[in-house]
Structure 1
Amino acid sequence: MNTLIISTFSCTFDEFKNDVTTLFLEEMCKEFVTDYEFVKVNEHKSHLLMNCTDLEKLGAEMESPFAKEWDKKNNCKDTVYSIKLVA
């Protein structure tokens, strides 16, 4: 399922992208995120487009103690959308 996560954060975009890519997507979510792409909106906001095969597992990882602590440390707020093809 195509998923969009809009994030705001206090760290730089490069720090955010590096941490989310290496720690979250490629480690914690590697079993159910098959493809992803980051889009920089500005230095403290991004759009993350991904193909997620299990939204429940994604939600569980986003609520894990590690993710919650990282979010708190970096003042990260995420809004998650499921995307459907219209035409």
Structure 2
Amino acid sequence: MPSSHQPAAPSWPTAWGAIHKGMTVIAADGYPVGTVDHVEGQEVILEGEGSSFVALSEINGVDGNRILLSPRGDATFGLGAEP
């Protein structure tokens, strides 16, 4: 009989709480800027083409399934991560 248990999404512990793949990243103005793909070093890499990212230092907190950025938190958004 197949298990109905879904495998847990990958998770990365941080000072603000665990960050999981699929979490929504919310800018200080309340608008979503992307969805977490993974954490690499000191950066949260977002899903999508171009691999945009936000720095861990720009996180204001983790709330449920959302990452809340500090008022300057979206400053790195769209710069494109280097592999």
Task: State the TM-score, normalized to the length of structure 2.
Answer: 0.27
- Judging by fraction of residues, say which structure has more helix: 1
